Amino acid sequence: MTLLEVRNVTKRFGSFTAVDDVNITIKTGEFFTLLGPSGCGKTTLLRMIAGFDAPDNGQILLDNKDIIDLPPEKRPFHTVFQSYALFSHMTVADNIGFPLKMSGKTSREIKIRVAETLSEVELSSFSHRYPHELSGGQKQRVAFARGLINQPRLLLLDEPLGALDEKLRENMQRELISLQAKANVTFIYVTHAQNEALALSHRIAVMNQGKIEQIDEPSRIYNFPINRFVADFIGKINMLDAQVIEASGYHLKLKVTGLGEVMAPVREHVKIGDQGILAIRPEQVRIDPLGSEVAAKFQLVGKIKDFLYIGDVTTYLIELPNSIRIEALQPNSFPGHAKLFEIGDPVVVSWQEHSAQFLPD
Amino acid sequence: MPLRHFFLWIISLLVYAFLYIPLIIVVVFSFNDSKLNAEWAGFTFHWYKVLFNNHEMLLAARNSLIIAVSASILATILGTMAGLAIHRYQLKFLPFLAFTPVAMPEILLGVSLLLFFLQVLNLTLGMLSIIIAHTTFCIGFVTIIVRARLQGMDESIFEAARDLGATPWQTFRHITLPLIRSAIIAGALMSFTLSIDDFVITFFTKGVGEPILPIQIYTMIKVAVTPEVNAISTLLMLLTLTLIIIATRFDTSMLKGDSKQPR
Amino acid sequence: MVLTSFRLPGEFGGLVPIHILSEDANENPGLTIETYQFFFSDFIYFEIFIKSFAVATLTTIICIVMAYPLASLIARSHKKFRHLMIMLVVLPFASNFLIRIYAWMIILGPESTLSHMINSILSFFGIAPVTLLFSPFAVLIGMIYVHLPFMILPLYTNLEQHDPILLDAAQDLGASSWQRFWYVTWPQSLPGIFSGSALVFIPVLGMFAIPDILGGTSDIMIGNLIKDQFLSTRDWPFGSTLSIMLTLMVLVIVGLLSWLARPGTRTI
């Protein structure tokens, strides 16, 4: 069921177009993420949904009713700010009770609800502390609790984990997922961290320069990026310049600069002569010692140029003929070995045809 | 302690001494049993008795208090509003307007106000003209203090309040006002001391009738220096000191400054 | 909206008079030029302007020299003591302006211990005794005393914001304590110095009470000149002319200092 619809929304600051004709539909109960590099317009879009900024064009519809003219306090949404925006002159309990107080609840009711919420987020013993007496993770939880206490239709989160260290961030990610499920509130989450987006979201909208590049489920965003930007922004990927020379049935025949003819799965709206890239994820690239039996149809001989050991995996940089370089990722499932190959080793590089993709420019 | 630090301490102590010794001398000589401010001749309350029998002086003190209280109330209200407006609407011209009286030499403001009262308002100089004049120059100080406090704040808390259901007025009432309260008190206090303290502007905007404290003191210094001046000075110092202590008791964050505000 | 309408009357009183002032000088066109000619015809007025400028400059420099060590000591003190130390700077400033000047009348007076001390030292070297009070020296002391806190406060506010890591970094990169001061602390503190200088220089320039009380008959400054035109001589047009000259000077200085303190030199 559609909860919120952003229709043809544009926002300009002077001559700079921050959000450019954006269309998004958000379903009830969804964890929806706006992902993009800083300055891509994701926070501006969030602020327009919250009501802090008004779009220059377009509509924002809640339950099919335009809410552009509603001030932030009249919209049944709450925001969790990057800086948490806790009221420094109020205790934890007063902060969490603030939305209830504003909606005119009695102090008795506020007290009960706040106590409930505090125990839910395991902060009961902190109710009389001030924000400056809390740790980063505790402030975070207060901000979530404050945003969720009066069951908003939509919770907007603006890089809420940005200020936390990595370990804590991972814990908070889990907590967020369970929090959303428990509270049964729709989330719109803004982040520039692609791994966070992949881990948390039901759907992701990848934004760039004010425009939406792709909206899809995390696994589809990762495995089937729609264009060069999305492929490059999400995870690591090898990109080789290519041109379509044949398109028939399920296959594309590509001419890859320096490597010759390579096959790739067909995709819509691609015709002979199109320029673009052949994209393949490092973990899809297989490397074997020279001379071993390799089943894949496509294979090349190369040389190990460099490697990077990061514990669970090792990334190898391989030089192919004509100085073309490609990265391959190998899991280190055999303890005791940092690497399977040495620099200078000749290897066979191969991949399955369906794991490579042609992305037109 | 490195040598460098040691010198820093010495110099700093000397500067503190420079700031305090003159005032201590005034206080000490107010209890001196001599007509001259030169040598210690024994302890006495004589000059305080003289002072409290000086009706003109008591009247002047009363007038000055009335002026200071009225001017600081007016300046605090107007200055807080100006500070909020400048911050809220990011006004470019208003800071200039509000801060001009602060940045200009007092004498220019005194002269301008004199001309303004006489030639534009056709106002007879007196208590009212002094109150208006004092309000005018205090507004800028209140505005600066309030605006500085607002500038140090995380903007998103005001948005957060709106977002959580507070109307603009509720946001002001529950968030803005409590957060700038200590700045407002500081502004009011500053206005009061500035007003009580002011000599130059009072000098230009005073009428002929009512005696005003700084003018009385000025006349005494210029015409005939008696330790009575020391006595009134000591009492005035006591007043401002008490005020500051009350203010810090009332709002300890004034002493602690912004240390309670995160970031 | 409401705020604006409430606020305006107060602001009105603040700036409009300065505007009126210039109109006042223009009301009698014949006189206007005359007063300016009068100003430039007599060298004495020019000399007084120069002298006021010199006093203001000297006061500012001495205030910087005195304020810097104290401000930096406070800035590097433990948080607990900082506010107390700042309060101790502000406290004397809260006492009446005239009292603070009057205190120096006592200290510098001919019968004071200080006068006796200095004169006995001078006579030891065979120099004729001096009178401290009613001299340019007394005026300077008074100016410094009254305006010193205005230099200490902005300087402290600036120095407090400095990131101590920068000094560690400079030391790590081989800077001596003097080099650390000169290449790291000092350039960063310039905005504080500039705003402090504006707060000292400008009021000193227009000051009339201190020369009036502590100075001799020849120690008059612009302020005294203006005061006399308005309250004694009652030559308002000429007084306005002088005021406008002073205003122009102040505007030039404010412009200069705010230009100097603009981004680029600003600290985070």
Least confident segment among A32-41, A236-245, A292-301, B57-66: A292-301
* Helix intervals (H) in B116-155: 127-151
What confidence score (pLDDT) does residue A95 get? 93
- Kindly give the interhelix angle for B228-250 and B3-30, rounded to the nearest 10 degrees: 120
Cα–Cα distances in angstroms (integers) from residue A117 to residues A80, B35, B72, C141, C213, in the given order: 16, 74, 45, 64, 68
pLDDT category at C23 given cuts 50, 70, 90 is: very low
pLDDT of C105 above 60: yes
Both A165 and A24 in one domain: the answer is: yes
Mean pLDDT of A163-184: 86
- Check residues A186 and C46 and name the one with the higher pLDDT: A186
Domain boundary among A197, A229, A261: A229
- Dist CA A284 CA A327 (whole Å): 10
Query: Which is nearest to C170 in space by CA: C186, C187, C184?
Result: C184
What confidence score (pLDDT) does residue A213 get? 94
pLDDT category at B96 given cuts 50, 70, 90 is: low
Mean pLDDT of A306-332: 88
pLDDT category at C25 given cuts 50, 70, 90 is: very low
What confidence score (pLDDT) does residue A336 get? 64
What value does the mean pLDDT of chain B take? 81
pLDDT in tens, C138-156: 899 999 999 998 899 889 8
pLDDT of C197 above 60: yes
pLDDT category at B258 given cuts 50, 70, 90 is: very low
Q: Return the domain boundaries, chain B.
A: 52-256
What confidence score (pLDDT) does residue B248 get? 65
Q: Which residues of B touch A146 (CB under 8 A)?
A: 164
Nearest to A102 among B166, B179, B261 (CB): B166
Both A38 and A168 in one domain: the answer is: yes
Contacting residues for B169 by C-beta, under 8 A, at least 6 apart: none
DSSP helix/strand/coil, A39? coil
pLDDT category at B112 given cuts 50, 70, 90 is: confident
DSSP helix/strand/coil, A358? strand
Q: Which residues of A touch B165 (CB under 8 A)?
A: 73, 99, 102-103, 150
Could you tell me if A309 lies within 8 Å of chain B, comparing CB atoms?
A: no
Both A176 and A310 in one domain: the answer is: no
Question: Do B159 and A147 lie within an 8 Å CB cutoff?
Answer: no
* Helix intervals (H) in B90-122: 93-103, 106-115
Cα–Cα distances in angstroms (integers) from residue A25 to residues A6, A33, C46, in the given order: 6, 12, 75
What confidence score (pLDDT) does residue A170 get? 86
Could you give phi then psi for residue A10, rounded to 5 degrees?
-130, 140
Long-range contacts of C22-28 (CB under 8 A, 24+ apart): C22/C240, C22/C244, C24/B115, C24/B119, C24/C236, C24/C237, C24/C240, C25/C237, C25/C240, C25/C241, C25/C244, C28/C237
Integer Rg of chain B from CA: 22
What value does the mean pLDDT of chain A take? 90
Query: Which is nearest to A328 in space by CA: A226, A336, A196, A345?
Result: A345
Question: Do B106 and C246 lie within an 8 Å CB cutoff?
Answer: no
pLDDT category at A204 given cuts 50, 70, 90 is: very high
What confidence score (pLDDT) does residue C41 get? 63
Q: Pairing mode, if any, of strands A286-289 and A298-309?
A: unpaired
Both A276 and A355 in one domain: the answer is: yes
Contacting residues for A234 by C-beta, under 8 A, at least 6 apart: A35, A194, A198, A206, A221, A222, A225
Both A306 and A193 in one domain: the answer is: no
How many Cβ contacts (< 8 angstroms) between chains B and C?
227
DSSP helix/strand/coil, B54? coil
pLDDT category at A18 given cuts 50, 70, 90 is: very high
Structure tokens given for A292: 């071993």
DSSP helix/strand/coil, A12? strand
Cβ pair B18, B24 in contact under 8 A? no
Least confident segment among B45-49, C94-98, C256-260: C256-260
Question: Concatenated DSSP letters for A49-83?
Answer: HHTSS--SEEEEEETTEE-TTS-GGGSSEEEE-TT
pLDDT in tens, C234-257: 777 778 878 888 888 888 887 887
Structure tokens given for A141: 């939880």
Domain boundary among A229, A247, A279: A229
Could you tell me if A89 lies within 8 Å of chain B, comparing CB atoms?
A: yes
Which residue type is seen at C188?
Q
Could you tell me if B9 lies within 8 Å of chain C, comparing CB atoms?
A: yes
Contacting residues for B177 by C-beta, under 8 A, at least 6 apart: none
Both A21 and A132 in one domain: the answer is: yes
Cα–Cα distances in angstroms (integers) from residue A245 to residues A273, A278, A350, C174, in the given order: 6, 13, 21, 63
Question: Do C209 and B108 lie within an 8 Å CB cutoff?
Answer: no
Question: Chain C residue with minimal CA distance to B248?
Answer: C87
Q: What is the dihedral of CA A319, A325, A326, A329, to 10 degrees?
A: 60
pLDDT of B151 above 50: yes
Instruction: Report the half-sphere exposure of C125 (CA within 13 A, side-chain side).
Output: 7
pLDDT category at C266 given cuts 50, 70, 90 is: very low
What confidence score (pLDDT) does residue C90 get? 81
pLDDT category at C176 given cuts 50, 70, 90 is: confident
Q: Which residues of A touch B262 (CB under 8 A)?
A: 88, 131-132
Q: Which residue has the tokens 């402290």?
A: C156
pLDDT in tens, B200-232: 888 888 877 788 888 888 888 887 677 888 888
Percent of chain C whose pLDDT exceeds 90:
10
Domain C33-260 maps to which CATH number in 1.10.390.10, 1.10.1040.10, 3.20.20.80, 1.10.3720.10?
Answer: 1.10.3720.10
pLDDT of C199 above 60: yes
Q: Pairing mode, if any, of strands A346-351 and A298-309?
A: antiparallel
Question: Do C99 and B109 lie within an 8 Å CB cutoff?
Answer: no
Which of A227-231, A270-274, C252-256 is the most confident on average?
Answer: A227-231
pLDDT of A151 above 80: yes
Q: What is the ipTM of this complex?
A: 0.78
CATH number reported for the structural domain that contains residue A54 in this entry: 3.40.50.300
pLDDT in tens, A60-72: 999 999 999 999 9
Mean pLDDT of C161-170: 81
Mean pLDDT of A184-188: 92
Domain boundary among A229, A253, A283: A229
Both A190 and A299 in one domain: the answer is: no
Could you tell me if A160 lies within 8 Å of chain B, comparing CB atoms?
A: no
pLDDT category at C35 given cuts 50, 70, 90 is: low
pLDDT category at B2 given cuts 50, 70, 90 is: low
Neighbouring CB atoms inside 10 A of B251's CB total 17
Which residue type is seen at A52?
F
Percent of chain A whose pLDDT exceeds 90:
56
Could you give phi then psi for residue C93, rounded to 5 degrees?
-70, -20
Q: Do chains B and C have 3 or more beta-carbon pairs under 8 angstroms? A: yes
How many Cβ contacts (< 8 angstroms) between chains A and B?
72
Question: Chain C residue with minimal CA distance to B82?
Answer: C7
- Check residues B91 and A216 and name the one with the higher pLDDT: A216
Mean pLDDT of A280-295: 87
Both A176 and A212 in one domain: the answer is: yes
What value does the mean pLDDT of chain C take? 76
Question: Do C69 and B12 lie within an 8 Å CB cutoff?
Answer: yes
Q: Which residues of B touch A67 (CB under 8 A)?
A: none
Least confident segment among A101-110, C125-134, C154-163: C125-134
Instruction: Report the half-sphere exposure of A101 (CA within 13 A, side-chain side).
Output: 19
CATH of domain B52-256: 1.10.3720.10
Question: Do B132 and C208 lie within an 8 Å CB cutoff?
Answer: no
Instruction: Measure in Å the smallest separation between the Cα of B163 and chain C Cα atoms.
Output: 23
Q: Which residue has the tokens 């409401």?
A: C2
Cβ pair B57, B232 in contact under 8 A? yes
Which one of B10, B108, B119, B193 makes the best mutation probe of the C interface by having the most chain C beta carbons within 10 Å?
B108
Question: Do B15 and C240 lie within an 8 Å CB cutoff?
Answer: no
Integer distance in angstroms from the first to the last C-alpha of chain A? 35
Residues found in chain A:
361
pLDDT category at B67 given cuts 50, 70, 90 is: very high
**A87-106: string of b/e by CB count within 10 Å (b at 16+)?**
bbbbbbbbbbbbbbbbeebe
Both A136 and A243 in one domain: the answer is: no
pTM of the model: 0.70
Mean pLDDT of C99-118: 83
Q: Return the domain boundaries, chain C.
A: 33-260
Cβ pair B230, B77 in contact under 8 A? no
Both A253 and A204 in one domain: the answer is: no
pLDDT in tens, B16-32: 999 999 989 888 888 88
Q: Pairing mode, if any, of strands A154-158 and A211-216?
A: unpaired
Question: Do A73 and B261 lie within an 8 Å CB cutoff?
Answer: no
Structure tokens given for C177: 């304590």
What confidence score (pLDDT) does residue C7 get? 32
Question: Do B8 and C72 lie within an 8 Å CB cutoff?
Answer: yes
Give the range of the structural domain holding residue A281, as residue numbers without chain letter. Answer: 236-360
Structure tokens given for C144: 């410094």
Could you tell me if B226 lies within 8 Å of chain C, comparing CB atoms?
A: no
Could you give phi then psi for residue A359, rounded to 5 degrees?
-115, 110
- Check residues B141 and A217 and name the one with the higher pLDDT: A217
- How many domains does chain A divide into? 2
